[in-house]
C-alpha cells in the first residue's frame, strides 16, 4: 500500500472542531423570513391541519406571535392576509383597513425594528381565486397591474418595509416601482417572486390562504416546471423593471434555478421553502420516520449552497431554536 498515492480528504473531517473550521456554508437566524397568516376577528388561533405548527391569527394573537418571533431573533416576517370579504375587484387587498394593512401597524407597534415584508397578490381577495382580474374566464394581465400596484402602495403607506409581488403578471414590478416612487416611497424595496412555478407543492398554502382557484389553474401565468431558460428571462425582466431581490418558488425542487440566478445576478436571492415541503417533513417526523432537526438544517444548508441569501420558511421558529441550542 505504501506505493499508492492518493488524497486524504478525511483529515478535514476527523473531528467536529475541524469540520466546523472548514465548513463552507452556514445557516444564520438572519437568513430567515417567517410567514404569518392574519385573519379578522378576535381570539383566533386556528392551526392549519395540513401545516402542523402554522396558524391563522387574529390581530390580538398576532400581536403575541410577533413578540415570540422577535424574542427568537428572527429579523423579518412576511404577511399573508385572509379577508372575510371577497369581491371581483379584490378591494380588501388595498383597503386602508384591510387585514394586512392593520397587521402591519400592529407589528410595528410591537417591534419597530422587525422588517415587515408583505405578499402582494389578489388571489385571496376575489371569489375566482386567481392572481389577476378575471373576465369571461380569462385572467387579464394589464388591467390587473393597477390593482396590484395599488395594493403594494397601500402596504407601504401602512408601514411595510418591503413588498413582494407573487402574482406573476407581466409588468407588475415596473408598475409597482413606478407607483411607489411617484408617491414618495423610493426606499421601499421590492422582492420579486421572479421565478414562480405552477407547482403541486402549494396545496397546503391554498388551504391556509383560502386561495384555491374556483376554476382552471394558474398555468397561464405561473411557469412550467420543465423550464429553466424561461426562468432567466423572467428574472431578467424583473431586474430591468426595478426588482431589488429575486425569489425562486418553490425552492427544494428548483435548486438548479437558484444556482443559475446566483451565477447570473448579484442581487440578493430568496429561496421560498413552500408549504408542501414543510408539510411532508412534519408528517414524516410525526410518524417517527426522520430526524426532523437534522433534515431541516440539511435542507436549509442546501439552499445556501445553491446560492440563496435569504430563506422564506415555515420552519423559521424551529430553526431559530436549533441555532440557539448550538446546532
- For the chain, the distance separating the N- and C-terminal CA atoms, rounded to the nearest angstrom, is 39
Work out whether strand 162-165 and strand 138-140 pair parallel, antiparallel, or are unpaired: unpaired
Consult the annotation and say whether 206 binds a ligand: yes
Distances (CA, A) of 233 to 7, 200, 229, 230: 42, 23, 7, 5
Element housing 303 (H / E):
helix 292-306
Consult the annotation and say whether 275 binds a ligand: yes
Consult the annotation and say whether 314 binds a ligand: yes
Whether the CB-CB separation of 224 and 278 falls below 8 Å is answered with no
196 catalytic, yes or no? yes
Element housing 110 (H / E):
helix 99-110
Q: Which entry of 68, 86, 150, 196 is annotated as an active-site residue?
A: 196
Angle at 237 between CA 232 and CA 238, to 5 degrees: 100
Distances (CA, A) of 105 to 22, 83, 111, 154, 308: 44, 16, 10, 12, 29
Task: Look at residue 140 and give its three-state secondary structure.
Answer: strand
Angular region, 113: left φ>0, alpha ψ -120 to 50, beta rest:
alpha
Q: Which entry of 249, 282, 304, 317 is annotated as an active-site residue?
A: 249
108 catalytic, yes or no? no
d(CA 315, CA 90): 30
List CB contacts of 203: < 8 A, sequence separation 6 or more.
50, 275, 276, 279
d(CA 292, CA 285): 6
Angular region, 179: left φ>0, alpha ψ -120 to 50, beta rest:
alpha
Q: Which of 263, 270, 228 is nearest to 247 (CA)?
A: 270
Binding residues for 5-aminolevulinate: 206, 218, 275, 314
Binding residues for Zn(2+): 121, 123, 131
Which residues are catalytic, by number? 196, 249
Binding residues: 121, 123, 131, 206, 218, 234, 275, 314
Binding residues for Mg(2+): 234
Amino acid at each position: 500500500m505504501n506505493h499508492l498515492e492518493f488524497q486524504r480528504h478525511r483529515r478535514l473531517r476527523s473531528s467536529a472542531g475541524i469540520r466546523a473550521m472548514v465548513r463552507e456554508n452556514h445557516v444564520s437566524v438572519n437568513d430567515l423570513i417567517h410567514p404569518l397568516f392574519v385573519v379578522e376577528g378576535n381570539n383566533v388561533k386556528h392551526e392549519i391541519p395540513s401545516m402542523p405548527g402554522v396558524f391563522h391569527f387574529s390581530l390580538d394573537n398576532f400581536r403575541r406571535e410577533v413578540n415570540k418571533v422577535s424574542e427568537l431573533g428572527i429579523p423579518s416576517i412576511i404577511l399573508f392576509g385572509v379577508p372575510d370579504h371577497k369581491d371581483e375587484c379584490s378591494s380588501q387587498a388595498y383597503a386602508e383597513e384591510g387585514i394586512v394593512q392593520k397587521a402591519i401597524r400592529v407589528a410595528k407597534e410591537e417591534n419597530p425594528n422587525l422588517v415587515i415584508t408583505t405578499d402582494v397578490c389578489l388571489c385571496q381577495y376575489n371569489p375566482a381565486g386567481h392572481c389577476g382580474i378575471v373576465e369571461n374566464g380569462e385572467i387579464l394581465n394589464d388591467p390587473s397591474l393597477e390593482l396590484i400596484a395599488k395594493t403594494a402602495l397601500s402596504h407601504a403607506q401602512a408601514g411595510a418595509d418591503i413588498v413582494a409581488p407573487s402574482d406573476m403578471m407581466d409588468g407588475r414590478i415596473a408598475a409597482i416601482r413606478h407607483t411607489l416612487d411617484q408617491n414618495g416611497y423610493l426606499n421601499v424595496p421590492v422582492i420579486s417572486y421572479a421565478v414562480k412555478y405552477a407547482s403541486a407543492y402549494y396545496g397546503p398554502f391554498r388551504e391556509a390562504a383560502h386561495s384555491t382557484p374556483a376554476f382552471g389553474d394558474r398555468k397561464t401565468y405561473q411557469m412550467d416546471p420543465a423550464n429553466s431558460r424561461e426562468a432567466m428571462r423572467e428574472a431578467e425582466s424583473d431586474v430591468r423593471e426595478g426588482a431589488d431581490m429575486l425569489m425562486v418558488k418553490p425552492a427544494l425542487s428548483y435548486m438548479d434555478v437558484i444556482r443559475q440566478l446566483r451565477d447570473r445576478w448579484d442581487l440578493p436571492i430568496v429561496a421560498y421553502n413552500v408549504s408542501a415541503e414543510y408539510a411532508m417533513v412534519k408528517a414524516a417526523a410525526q410518524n417517527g420516520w426522520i430526524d426532523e432537526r437534522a433534515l431541516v438544517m440539511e435542507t436549509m444548508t442546501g439552499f445556501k449552497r445553491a446560492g440563496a441569501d435569504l430563506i422564506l420558511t415555515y420552519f423559521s421558529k424551529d430553526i431559530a431554536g436549533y441555532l440557539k441550542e448550538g446546532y
